[in-house]
Amino acid sequence: MTKPSQTIAVIVAAGRGVRAGGSIAKQWRDLTGRNAVAWSLQAFQDHADIDAIVLVLHPHDLALAAGYSDIIVTKGGADRAASVLFGLQAAAALSPAKVLIHDVARPCVSAQTISNVIAALDDHQGAAPGLALSDALWQGTDGLVADIKPRDDLFRAQTPQGFHFAKILAAHQTYQGPAADDVAVARAAGMTVAIVPGDEDNLKITTPGDFARADRILRGHMDIRTGNGFDVHAFEAGDHVTLCGIEIGHEFALKGHSDADVAMHAVTDAIYGALAEGDIGQWFPPSDPRWKGAASEVFLRHAVTLARDKGFTITHADCTIICEHPKIGPHARQMRENMARIMEIDIERVSIKATTSEQLGFTGRGEGIAASATATLVKS
């Protein structure tokens, strides 16, 4: 990334996180299907005022960032202060005006918190989110309360902590000794730092129990959509029907402009429905001769691609085929395999089942087949 940038983010992820437990560093452990690195990166990538990101990793973790694009990756140092300095030095070529330094252990950071810090830098050399203490403070000795401390004007520090880039880079280059955070480094250099509103959800993952709380918070950040689809096709003369892309021998065929795959049509419409993007008929009008006899896989692939382009993952699809004949059970596994292949998801996330209408209605009279489907999409 070579373009000049006004505001950058340095995400520090070089620690080992031993207090959080687990066999791997806490920033790489699963959090609602992703890890803390991915969640933190997304928070800053999605923010309109962040122009570039520097990710600081432990030297042993550099290979884990091989798939990241449009991100500067650099190795960290022996402690947090050294890692931040490496990150700032890596960003210096971009000549940024402002920098936000964020601990990867705070993956639940909100867009509003980021905005608050950036805005405060218009009037201050530094800014950081803080939460005023509301609990009483005790000093303990041997498990007993030894003293009560005043909590007036005390705040719990959070990140990202933002600064004018040139000043914080110079401050880190000259700072000696350990530092609790970048505000400590800035204050030692004589910089003024404003306190902006913090966020209770912007917790720092430190102990094993913090993962459960972060997981609950991040689930609330997810966009979960459910769509329904329903389709019907009548029988006509023929020797097979196509269901979920699988040809099944039968005394009739299904009538339709395409291959009349009623089950695949229902699933496709369920995906379109979850996206609020209409239905097959709108995307592939039956009046268009291009789709005469087309394989319904074309329609389903289009819906899957549309979902992916909008940032969604298909997490589950369930289809019920309603007919008296043919028998669906012997072919259900092959149908699931084919649908999973097209949707590019695991077969365990695809359900294909069948029921009769107890000889009631058009399906009960053997006049055709109906299908109902539900699809679940998630964007995080």
pLDDT computed for residue 311 by the predictor = 87
Distance spanning both ends of the chain, measured CA to CA: 25
Mean pLDDT of 86-96: 96
Q: How many domains does the chain have?
A: 2
In a domain, 312, yes or no: yes
Half-sphere exposure (Cβ direction) of 228: Cα atoms closer than 13 Å: 2
Each residue of 24-38: pLDDT tens digit? 788 988 888 789 999
Q: State whether 58 and 189 are in the same domain.
A: yes
Indicate if 263 and 340 belong to the same structural domain: yes
Q: What is the mean pLDDT of residues 341-354?
A: 96
Q: Decide: helix, strand or coil at residue 184.
A: helix
Mark which of 162, 193, 219 sits at the end of a domain: 219
Asked if residue 41 lies in contact with residue 52, where contact means CB atoms within 8 angstroms, the answer is: no
Residue 365 belongs to a domain = yes
Work out the average pLDDT over 321-333: 95
Strand 52-57 relative to strand 72-75: parallel, antiparallel, unpaired? parallel
CATH number at residue 174: 3.90.550.10
Q: Report pLDDT for 220.
A: 76
Residues ≥6 apart with Cβ < 8 Å to 136: 148, 151
Mean pLDDT of all residues belonging to the chain: 93
The share of the chain scoring above pLDDT 70, in percent, equals: 97
DSSP H/E element including 280: helix 280-283
**CATH number of the domain where residue 248 is located:** 3.30.1330.50
| Same domain? 145 vs 287 | no
Residues 205 and 242 in one domain: no
Last residue of a domain, one of 184, 219, 254: 219
Beta-strand relationship, 246-249 and 30-31: unpaired
Residue 194 resides in a domain: yes
337 part of a folded domain: yes
97 DSSP assignment: S
pLDDT tens-digit map of 212-230: 999 888 887 778 899 999 9
Range of the domain at 320: 223-379
Q: Residue 71, by phi and psi: left (phi above 0), alpha (psi -120 to 50) or beta?
A: beta
Residues 143 and 252 in one domain: no
- Asked, for residue 1, whether it belongs to a domain, the answer is no
Q: Rounded distance, CA 126 to CA 109, Å?
A: 18
Residues 100, 173: one domain? yes
